[in-house]
């Protein structure tokens, strides 16, 4: 494999931006893809184009606007933050617009493909041993049906078991092609450390797997920070993976990663959730 090289010329480059899932499917159709980087904050993939590509009404890839982007540092090949999925090399520094146009024109439009019924998914929960998982599974089934997903398995772990064998089983179903995504109540059920959350994002990118959550807190929602074990009120979530929290009875604010948030004690019923897209 050729050694990575510095992206030439200007640090700002034209690129095509695709939703993460659609971008990963496009990669499978490209015989020789050029450099691609992931933006986890926007769940998107960027395909770098030659610097002479212009964002005009007659763009080289009709239907896909040209973005001017600043790629991540060459050494960054894993999260957190934007990172290279396919770094530039001496022989592949860009993807030619004609190549992208040809593949995109042969492909089903992304929204139609994403909405196709029957996408196989796994329902997964990690719950305390004294809690009945049935209400959570019911909420996950509801959103899976709403998104027209086909449930191939329903798996539950206890939060007292750090090994999470059912989560390993869910990931195995995806890596072997039996499922293409996970539906869960909140992201904190899938990982317990920042490193584990970053690994999950990397793994999902590699396998074109979607992760759909039932619960998404809004500002003012009582939440539990699984990284610190503290309860607080959500103030805001910034674009670059930072959640600001306030202690219930005042005190100093603190920050955590949004994926570490879970419903606070006594505020974790399915009726307090809202549906969100992956």
Residues 48-94 have pLDDT tens digits of 888 776 654 344 455 567 778 888 888 888 877 888 888 887 667 78
Is 122:92 a contact under the CB 8 Å cutoff?
A: no
- Which residue, 117, 125, 113, 112, is CA-closest to 182? 125
- Across the chain, mean pLDDT equals 78
pLDDT-derived band at 183 (thresholds 50, 70, 90) equals very high
The answer, yes or no, to whether residue 265 has pLDDT greater than 70, is no
Residue 233 · residue 223 · CB < 8 Å? yes
Which run of H or of E encompasses 170?
helix 165-175
Q: Which helix (H) or strand (E) holds 202?
A: helix 194-206
What is the pTM assigned to this prediction?
A: 0.59
Cβ–Cβ < 8 Å for 9, 43: no
pLDDT number for residue 278 = 42
Number of alpha carbons in the 13 Å side-chain half-sphere of residue 97: 19
Instruction: Provide the pLDDT for residue 21.
Output: 72
Taking the C-alpha atoms of residue 90 and residue 92, their distance in angstroms, rounded to an integer, is: 6
């Amino acid at each position: 494999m050729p050694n990575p090289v510095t992206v030439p010329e200007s640090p700002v480059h034209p690129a095509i931006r695709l939703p993460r899932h659609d971008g990963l499917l496009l990669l499978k159709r490209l015989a020789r893809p050029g450099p691609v980087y992931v933006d986890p904050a926007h769940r998107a993939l960027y395909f770098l184009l030659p610097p002479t590509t212009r964002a005009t009404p007659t763009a080289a890839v009709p239907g896909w606007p040209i973005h001017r982007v600043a790629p991540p540092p060459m050494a960054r090949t894993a999260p957190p933050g934007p990172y290279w999925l396919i770094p530039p090399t001496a022989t592949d520094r860009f993807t030619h617009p004609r190549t992208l146009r040809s593949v995109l024109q042969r492909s089903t439009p992304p929204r139609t493909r994403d909405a196709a019924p029957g996408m196989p998914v796994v329902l997964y929960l990690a719950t305390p041993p004294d809690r009945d998982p049935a209400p959570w599974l019911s909420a996950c089934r509801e959103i899976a049906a709403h998104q027209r997903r086909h449930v191939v398995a329903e798996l539950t772990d206890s939060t007292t078991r750090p090994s999470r064998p059912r989560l390993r089983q869910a990931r195995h179903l995806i890596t072997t092609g039996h499922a293409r995504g996970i539906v869960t109540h909140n992201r904190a059920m899938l990982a317990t450390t920042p490193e584990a959350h970053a690994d999950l994002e990397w793994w999902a990118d590699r396998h074109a797997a979607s992760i759909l959550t039932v619960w998404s807190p809004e500002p003012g929602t009582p939440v539990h920070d699984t990284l610190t074990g503290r309860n607080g009120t959500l103030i805001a979530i910034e674009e670059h993976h930072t959640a600001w929290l306030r202690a219930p009875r005042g005190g100093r604010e603190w920050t955590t990663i949004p994926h570490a948030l879970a419903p606070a004690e006594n505020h974790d019923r399915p009726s307090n959730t809202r549906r969100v897209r992956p």
